[in-house]
Chain A
C-alpha cells in the first residue's frame, strides 16, 4: 500500500532535504519553523489589510452610520475564553510530546480540538443566524423628523452623541416585492403567537413594519445611550415606516453596512482559519503516518509538527484578541 502511494503520488513522501527535523546549527532553526513564521508574517499583512480597511471605513463613516452594541457580548466573551483555553492546551500538548508523554498529548490535543469546534459551532449556528433574522432600515435624513419617536435625535444631540438614522428589530411586514417578504411573514406569525396581536401586517403595500429593538423603542432613554453587557430584550412596540422614507434596508448581513461587511468578512476569514487549524490538529491527533503514528519512529518530528500547528493556532487566537473588542465592544 505505502509502496503504491510512493509510486503514484511521490509528493506524499518526503524528499531528502536537510533540516526538516534537526536545526541548522548557524540559524538554530529547523526549516518548518522558519516557514511557519514567514507564513504568519504574511498573515499579519493579510489581517493588517483587513484591519486597515476597518480603520479607514470607520473613520470615514458618516456620524450615525457605524453601529455599536449590536453583537452579543456575553457570547463573544465566552468564545474568547474558549480560544484562550485552547491556546493553553495546545502548548501543553506540545510540551507533553517534548517530555515524551503520548497519553497527555492525546488528551490535551482532544481538548484543543473540542474548543475549536465549540467556537465554530457557536459562531455559525448561533451568532451569525441570529443576525440574519435581524432587520434594519436607514431613514433618509430629510424624513428623519417623522420618525423622531424611534430615533431620538433631539435627545442624542443634547447628550452630545452621534445621531441615529437606523430603526431596527424584527421585520414583520415588508413592502410588496421585497425579497424579505418570506422572512417577514414568518416573523409576523411568531409575533402573533407570542403576543396574540394581529396588527403586525398593514394593508398598505409600501410599508415596513418592524418590531422594535429596545434602543428604538425608547430612544430618548439615557439608559440606551451606551451599549449593555447583557442583550436587552426586544420591545413589543411596532414601527410602521413608509418605503419612500427609507435610504437602505437590509437584514444584518454583509450588505447591511460597512460595519457588518467588515464584521462578516473578518470573522468569516478568521473562522476559516479556525477550521483549517482543527483539520490539521485532527490529522496530528489521529493515527495517520504523519500523525500519532510518527511518534513511534520519530517523536521529535511529531513534536515539531505540533509546534508548527500550535504557532498557527496561537496566531488565530491573537487575531481574535483584536477582533473581539473592535466589533463587540468599542
Chain B
C-alpha cells in the first residue's frame, strides 16, 4: 500500500495548477485522438445489446447455461464501459488497488451466500430445488 515513497515535498497549494498552457494543448490533442474510440465502443455496446437479446431466445441446453451465456455478454459490455468510458484502462494504481479488493469482496458475497444456500444440513432445507 505504498502509493508514495517519494520524499520530495508535494505541492500543497490549491491554486497551483500544474497544467501549463502547453500541457493543456498536448492533453487536448491526446483526447481528440480518442474520440473515434468512444464512438466505436458505443456502437459496439449497442451491437452487443442486440446480441444479448438475440441469444436469450437461443436454448443452450439448460436454464443455467442460458443464464451463464447472458452473464458473459453482460460482463463483456460492462468491462468495455469501465475500461474505455470510465478510463479504467491506464487508471492509477491507487484506484485499481481498492477496486480489486471491492471486486473480491463482492464476489465473496455472491459466492458464499450461494454456498451457504446450496450446502444445508440434511433435512433443514427450507425450500425445494
Contact = CB atoms under 8 A, between A and B. Distances in A.
Q: Are chains A and B touching in the complex at the 8 Å CB cutoff?
A: yes
Interface of A: 16-29, 33-34, 37-38, 41, 44-45, 48-49, 51-52, 55-56, 59-63, 73, 77, 80-81, 84-85, 87-88, 91-92, 95, 98-100, 226-227, 229, 300, 310-311, 314-315, 317-318, 321-322, 324-326, 329-330
Contacts of B73: 325
Given A55-B110, A56-B114, A100-B28, A24 B10 contact: yes
Given A25-B6, A37-B98, 8 more contacts: A28-B92, A28-B94, A41-B98, A88-B38, A88-B85, A300-B17, A330-B56, A330-B66
Contacts of B114: 55-56, 59
Given A80-B49, A98-B28, A18 B98 contact: no
B111 to A, nearest CB: 9
B119 interface: no
A325 B46 CA distance: 14
Contacts of B56: 325, 329-330
A95 B35 contact: yes
A19 B94 CA distance: 16
Given A22-B18, A318-B82, A95 B31 contact: yes
Nearest to A26: B4
Contacts of B22: none
Nearest to B44: A84
Interface in B73-109: 73-74, 77-78, 81-82, 85-86, 92, 94-95, 98-99, 102-103, 105-106, 109
Contacts of B121: none
**Leading 6 A-B pairs by shortest Cβ distance:** A26-B4, A88-B42, A329-B56, A48-B106, A41-B102, A99-B28
29 contacts: A18-B11, A24-B10, A25-B6, A25-B11, A27-B4, A27-B92, A29-B94, A44-B106, A52-B109, A55-B110, A55-B113, A56-B114, A59-B117, A60-B127, A61-B127, A62-B127, A80-B49, A81-B49, A84-B46, A91-B38, A99-B31, A100-B28, A226-B59, A229-B57, A318-B82, A321-B81, A325-B70, A329-B52, A330-B66
Interface residues of B, number: 64
Given A52-B113, A56-B117, A77 B49 contact: yes
B71 A325 contact: yes
